[in-house]
Amino acid sequence: MRRLKDASPVLVGATVFGTVAAFMQKLPCRATSFNFVPTARHGCYTDIYPLFFARGLADGKVPYFDKVQEPVEYPVLTGWFMQGINTLVRWFTHPAGDIDAIKSHRGMSFYDLTAVALALLAVVAVLATAYAAGQRSRRAGLMVALSPGLVLAAYINWDLLAVALTALAVAFWAGRRTVTAGIFLGLAISAKFYPAVFLWPLVLLCVRAGQWRALGRLLAGTAGCWLVVNVPVMLLAWDGWVRFYKFSQERVVDWGSIFYWGRGERGWSWVDNVSTLNRAAEVCLAVCCLLIGLLALAAPRRPRVAQLLFLMLAAFLLTNKVWSPQYVLWLLPLAVLARPKLPGFIIWQLGELIYFWGIWWYLISVTIQQSNPPGATVPGPVGLSGFLSGLIHFSSPAGGINMQAYSFALFARMLTVILLMVLVVIDILRPGSDLLRQDGADDPSGGVLDGAEDRFRLGRPALKPTSSPV
């Protein structure tokens, strides 16, 4: 705690710098009211401004309760976050002009105020991550605050809400406040569903250490908080509440996933059947869960909490039917907690950078093809060499990039995430190579698991843990 207090001013300053840089990166597109084609060329797309109009917020509609043509497709807490920002905008902005001008002004105010709120949540996420990192709090916090992933993805969507809540859950778990950790995990699941996958690794680690009471308190806090947040909306606005879950089940194969590549490059026509696609993704994730379970229960020394959380989330993304560019924010805190070494982290961030530009420049070519009639003279998409040249000269190809170049970008991200996973697994199987355990610590973010003896393990006897220094 003392180390975090000393590092806090530096970490807050670094996060402010990163979030201001993120806002400035969006300025060229803000000047065009986020018109899609120039937005894609400059890589400064955001969902925040267009969804203000598309989800009824511009007309004063309340998410989940009021009927609109395209309802909010996010869990309850994200919808309420959007509504809270919109309420402030409507209270404090009184633009003049016709209805379209008023809506446009309020839409930009909604984006700006949302950016401020997300920046504050980024500060929370960085400080919580630094706290969970223990003695290496400054390094962990700076790696998140100054990462290219944060700068480029902070304002694409509302993901920083769930990221901050998840980071707080990990921090409270590290502080041995298991019920509070569960409450914040329940809040995170109510904002974006992905934190639900963290329950599996926490169950595994508590089973191995025999920490049944702590596990029960965590699960009770998570379930209780989720019910408190969700049940009122379920009872009063079922159709709006269930929209997210139906949308997730019915969603077709989408950008960034291995299934999208398979359909485009290998002709996997079966992925167009949503039921088959869902089963494939579920089976792949189940296999990953089984492998992570074997690793957690059979490793010579119990894995650290952050290591297993990172592996679980990375497996979820690799097997998902969509992998949006802003999902880098989900991985950031856990990646630096799992393995706070710069070389692997930098390689991964380079992979994310390549994908970030790849997806926007690929969407340019898709948009051009869809918006022009057959036979029209339009610039064609470039291949891999043109894409690499565009990256080097930081200039968007006029016609975007083709599927082969986009596949390169997709695999650049996917393989660098897999590389990080392999390095984390090596650290688990060879605890001596784990940077956080080289100074005699056991698990700085482990909470009740830190220094606990194993009660159950597959195979040979476990290595005796060493408590982290206070």
When mean pLDDT is compared across 58-62, 384-388, 458-462, the lowest value belongs to 458-462
Round to whole Å and give the CA distance between 157 and 306: 25
- Residue keyed to tokens 């809506």: 103
SS3 at position 208:
helix
- Residue keyed to tokens 């992998």: 323
User: Is 391 a residue whose pLDDT tops 80?
Assistant: yes
**Chain-centre distance for alpha carbon 428:** 24
User: Is 210 a residue whose pLDDT tops 50?
Assistant: yes
Which pair of tokens denotes residue 184? 């914040």
Number of neighbouring beta carbons within 10 Å of residue 419 = 14
Number of neighbouring beta carbons within 10 Å of residue 318 = 17
The pLDDT, as a whole number, for residue 97 is 80
Contact 415, 274 (CB under 8 A): no
The pLDDT, as a whole number, for residue 370 is 80
Number of neighbouring beta carbons within 10 Å of residue 288 = 20
Angle at 274 between CA 273 and CA 279, to 5 degrees: 105
Per DSSP, the chain holds a count of helices (H) and strands (E) of 19, 0
Question: Per this entry, what is the length of the chain?
Answer: 470
User: Is 376 a residue whose pLDDT tops 60?
Assistant: yes
In the beta sheet, which residues pair with residue 382?
A: 401
Angle at 336 between CA 335 and CA 340, to 5 degrees: 125
**Chain-centre distance for alpha carbon 277:** 22
Round to whole Å and give the CA distance between 370 and 377: 13
DSSP states along 14-35: HHHHHHHHHHHHHHHHHTTTT-
Contact 400, 361 (CB under 8 A): yes
What rounded mean pLDDT belongs to the chain? 93
Using pLDDT thresholds of 50, 70 and 90, give the confidence band for residue 135.
confident
Q: List Cα–Cα distances, 315 to 11, 19, 26, 253, 307, in angstroms.
A: 29, 28, 30, 17, 12
pTM for the full predicted model: 0.95
User: Is 235 a residue whose pLDDT tops 90?
Assistant: yes
User: Is 460 a residue whose pLDDT tops 90?
Assistant: no
Whole-number percent of the chain with pLDDT over 70: 96
Round to whole Å and give the CA distance between 413 and 362: 15
